[in-house]
């Protein structure tokens, strides 16, 4: 079964529908590439998917280990090539893991490893620089 269906709407915009939930995402070409920049660009989504994946797998780990990490968040910066073919060359993620519980050093190391080995991270080309900064707060 397909994951999604994407329709080109014109004017460099697409509408992607997640088949099993019918949720949708609109994409728009960025202003620096002939678009209106009124929605996520496809490359924005690729970069954003990295942090979303990290938070998801952290949530799974936390849920299975009695850790409340609601409110954890990430800020993503996408870095595009300045020469050669247009592509993502780097993704900076500032990840804040907020917990109700005090975590010991071992738990923090495990959570960092979980975040940095999420499926999206492992799927990205090794030449794409992933700069991940993780902090812990209560």
User: What are the tens digits of pLDDT across the range 83-134?
Assistant: 989 999 999 999 999 999 999 999 999 999 999 999 999 999 999 999 999 9
Of residues 131, 5, 121, the one with CA closest to residue 56 = 121
Give CA angle at 129 (31, 5), nearest 5°: 55
Residues 72 and 115 in one domain: yes
Instruction: Judge whether residue 75 has pLDDT over 90.
Output: yes
Residues 28 and 46 in one domain: no
Residues 54 and 29 in one domain: no
**Structural domain containing residue 16:** 4-33
Residues 61 and 103 in one domain: yes
- What value does the mean pLDDT take over residues 3-16? 97
Number of domains in the chain: 2
As a whole number of angstroms, the distance between CA 48 and CA 68 comes to 23
As a whole number of angstroms, the distance between CA 119 and CA 54 comes to 8
Residues 74 and 125 in one domain: yes
pLDDT score at 90:
98
Q: Are strands 73-80 and 24-28 parallel, antiparallel or unpaired?
A: unpaired
pLDDT score at 84:
86
* CATH number, residue 53: 3.30.300.20
Chain-centre distance for alpha carbon 82? 22
User: What are the tens digits of pLDDT across the range 29-64?
Assistant: 999 899 999 999 999 999 999 999 999 999 999 999
Residues 85 and 127 in one domain: yes
Considering the entire predicted model, what is its pTM? Answer: 0.94
């Amino acid at each position: 079964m397909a994951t999604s269906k994407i329709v080109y709407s014109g004017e460099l915009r697409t509408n992607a529908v997640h088949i099993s939930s019918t949720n949708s995402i609109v994409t728009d070409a960025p202003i620096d590439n002939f678009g209106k920049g009124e929605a996520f660009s496809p490359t924005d989504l690729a970069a954003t998917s990295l942090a979303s994946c990290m938070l998801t797998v952290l949530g799974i780990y936390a849920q299975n280990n009695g850790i409340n990490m609601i409110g954890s968040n990430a800020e993503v910066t996408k870095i595009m090539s300045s020469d050669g073919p247009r592509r993502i060359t780097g993704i900076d993620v500032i990840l804040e893991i907020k917990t109700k519980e005090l975590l010991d050093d071992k738990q923090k190391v495990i959570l960092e490893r979980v975040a940095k080995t999420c499926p999206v991270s492992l799927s990205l080309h090794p030449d794409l620089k992933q700069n991940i900064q993780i902090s812990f707060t209560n």
